[in-house]
Structure 1
Amino acid sequence: MKIGIDARFIGPQGTGIGKYTQKLIENLQNIDRKNKYSIFLKQSNWQLLKLKNKNFNKVLADIKWYSLEEQIKMPYIYKKQNLDLLHIPHFNVPLLFNDKYIVTIHDLIHRHFSQESVTTRNKFVFKAKRFAYKLTISSALKKSQKIITPSNYVKQEIIDSYKIDKSKIVVTYEAAEEEYSQNSKSKIRNPKFVKKFFVRKPFLIYVGNAYPHKNLHNLITAVEILNLKQNLKINLAIVCSRDIFWQRLKQSIEKSKIKKQIILTGYIKAKDLSILFSEAKAYVFPSLSEGFGIPGLNAMAAGLPVICSNIPTLKEVYANAACYFNPNDSE
């Protein structure tokens, strides 16, 4: 069988869909020596993925995702490989692609948070993009052979929102990354290491992005209350990539009464983050919506207590292993 995997989301900072795809390919190489795989990559991430088996080969597909070019050119690039099945690990399946494929839907956050505040584009472009996304995901769900979701919550959302037969959806839970395991050789307790990122102890830590649905403004308010009203003297480290949402958050922090106790570190590699976890008091996850919640799982693997939103997904995934709070109430 000849299988294709669209791996264009793999990136140097190894987050989200890219990390999911990279781990999928790495582990498939460990268990499958029979089927042949074509891995579609961009020029920018060609060297980031190492293929060790002869039944895996790279295919250049230097096409930007979510683009008109993707809609027009990717069907041809896929078809050229004569695949029996294609796996696209996101909803961006070209509308004109009609061969057999499966799709992974990580969440339906775009349905809940589609305001203009979640984009960097102008109003007209944003509305056009939103319409295109709705059309694309609806088509992807209806035409796919199977749909993979990371949780039962996302599965039920798809069933309710798109009237998809439940037998078509397969729930595959994700796992914490091995770099965060308490048994990892890379994990070394080192209090001085924390100073490298200008983080002061004691501190809480958040890892993720700064999108509005991550609810970081409420988290900052909660930490202000802990310091100013409860007199706990706790710091907060926010680990996220530097983008427009990071800039907006930074501007908001500048207005905080405890701005010196809140550190925006930027992106940190898993190896270093594991050590930072070992020095933190707890991992805080105030998100309003998630498809799964890998960051909290990584924190648990590192032995760090997790305090998170009481949203359905996180309660499904973390069960009794976390402490929960109402994400809409900063008190």
Structure 2
Amino acid sequence: MKTLGLEATRANKTYKTGTEWYAWYMLQEFKKIDKENKFVVYYNRYLAGDLKKAPENFYFKSLPWPFEKFWTHIRLAWELLIHPVDKFFATNALPLFGRGEMIVTIHDLGFYKHPELYHPLERIYQKMSHRLAVFRADKIITISEASKADIISYFPKAKDKIKVIHLSYNQDSFKPISPEDRLKFMDIHDYPDNFLLYIGRLESKKNVLNLLKAYQKSSRKWPLVLAGRPGNYGYKEIEELVKHPDLKEDIIFLGYVNQENYPKLMACASGFVFPSKFEGFGIPILEAMASGVPVACSNIPALKEIGQEAVIYFDPDNTDDIQDKIEELFKNKELREKKITKGLARAKDFSWPKVAKETLEYILK
């Protein structure tokens, strides 16, 4: 029997995006598939929801820390130094010190490849944290072949300790919606019959500004719905453009959409657009494909790896190309149906139990 350490700070966040949901699913799935090894789950102050419900081989330890940053790097590090575990798995960052084998997931190196998309302080913090993770890790998990190539390009010595394990989406929630349920949901929330949907943070690295510029040039026969919270960098420019008289009547801001409404909103969309300049994976395009919604997204390596032939691709730096592909998504009925069919099939290749099984096998190897 091995003792495995896990940190639950990301899984414990109220407003979750890709990395937080990954942490949440790994913890929840590990509870289901391993009844033999001992798991010690570390967290700061309290655990929300069902996170603390677990079988007898799971133990939970609160490590209070008065500061917003560096809980993992310092407080957790001290705990692992005094009370080491056989293996410690982190879903995003490793402690500065501590004993036992260290395994970490590195999602992407966007702050290296596109530093202009990050706030300077965030860029410094991320570079420091990821350099430490690569240096300290005995094993590295990453979420796409594209991310693996990036890690090797910046850290060549890490090549032999990297394993690619794709992420997934909630298969129980994201599925095509019946016409009756769609009509009911649309009436309750007063959404238009046809709309183009973007879901994600409203910030520079998600390339929302270019999406708005492309949409401004389009025929705009369908509203653009933006679902997501303001990001840390670039939101002011997005907000200013949306206020333009030529745009403000055709754009709907929803803010953060809760997990009850999110899958229904996705399934009701006439099309989904994902214009990111950089991604390590791209869970939202999987969610859209599984919902039977045609997708237009950036032609960046990670998204092409995940979407394959099920998606319409555009150059994220070319607003004319973004405009053309969005128009095509709505106007070319034959292409829409083809992409929907391929998307539904492609989405079946992914599941969180599969991700957790492969991850745990690699940790225990």
Would the TM-score normalized by the shorter structure come out above 0.5? Answer: yes
| Counterpart residue number, 1:239 | 227
CA apart distance, 1:14 = 2.6
Once superposed, what is the RMSD of the aligned Cα atoms? 2.6
Find the aligned partners of 2:190 and 2:82 in 1 and give their Cα distance.
51
- Structure 1: segments with no counterpart, 5+ residues: 120-125
Find the aligned partners of 1:163 and 1:238 in 2 and give their Cα distance.
39
Find the aligned partners of 2:190 and 2:254 in 1 and give their Cα distance.
8
Find the aligned partners of 1:310 and 1:28 in 2 and give their Cα distance.
34
Task: Tell me which stretches of 4 or more aligned residues in structure 1 moved more than 6 Å.
Answer: none
Task: Encode CA deviations 1:84-119: one digit per residue, 9 max, x unaligned.
Answer: 0001111x323233532101001101112323x633
| Counterpart residue number, 1:174 | 167
Taking a change above 3 Å as real, the CA distance of residues 65 and 138 of structure 1, as seen in their structure-2 partners, is: farther
Task: Encode CA deviations 1:270-310: one digit per residue, 9 max, x unaligned.
Answer: 33121112221111000100000001111111111111011
| Counterpart residue number, 1:76 | 78
Report SS of the residue matched to 1:270.
coil
| Counterpart residue number, 2:115 | 114
- Structure 2: segments with no counterpart, 5+ residues: 321-365
The 5 Å alignment of 1:100-249 reads 100-115=101-116, 118-119=118-119, 126-127=120-121, 130-182=123-175, 189-194=181-186, 197=189, 199-227=191-219, 232-242=220-230, 244=232, 248=236, 249=238
Taking a change above 3 Å as real, the CA distance of residues 64 and 46 of structure 1, as seen in their structure-2 partners, is: farther
Taking a change above 3 Å as real, the CA distance of residues 28 and 236 of structure 1, as seen in their structure-2 partners, is: same
Match of 2:35 among 19, 33, 50: 33
Task: Encode CA deviations 1:21-40: one digit per residue, 9 max, x unaligned.
Answer: 11011111111101111111
Match of 1:87 among 86, 89, 93: 89
Find the aligned partners of 1:64 and 1:196 in 2 and give their Cα distance.
43
| Paired residue type of 2:63 | A
Taking a change above 3 Å as real, the CA distance of residues 135 and 325 of structure 1, as seen in their structure-2 partners, is: same
Find the aligned partners of 1:184 and 1:56 in 2 and give their Cα distance.
37
CA apart distance, 1:233 = 0.9
Task: Encode CA deviations 1:154-201: one digit per residue, 9 max, x unaligned.
Answer: 01111111113422101001112124332799x972335335555433
| Counterpart residue number, 1:17 | 19
Match of 1:327 among 293, 301, 316: 316
CA apart distance, 1:132 = 4.5
| Counterpart residue number, 2:258 | 269
Report SS of the residue matched to 2:146.
helix
Aligned length: 317
| Paired residue type of 1:235 | P
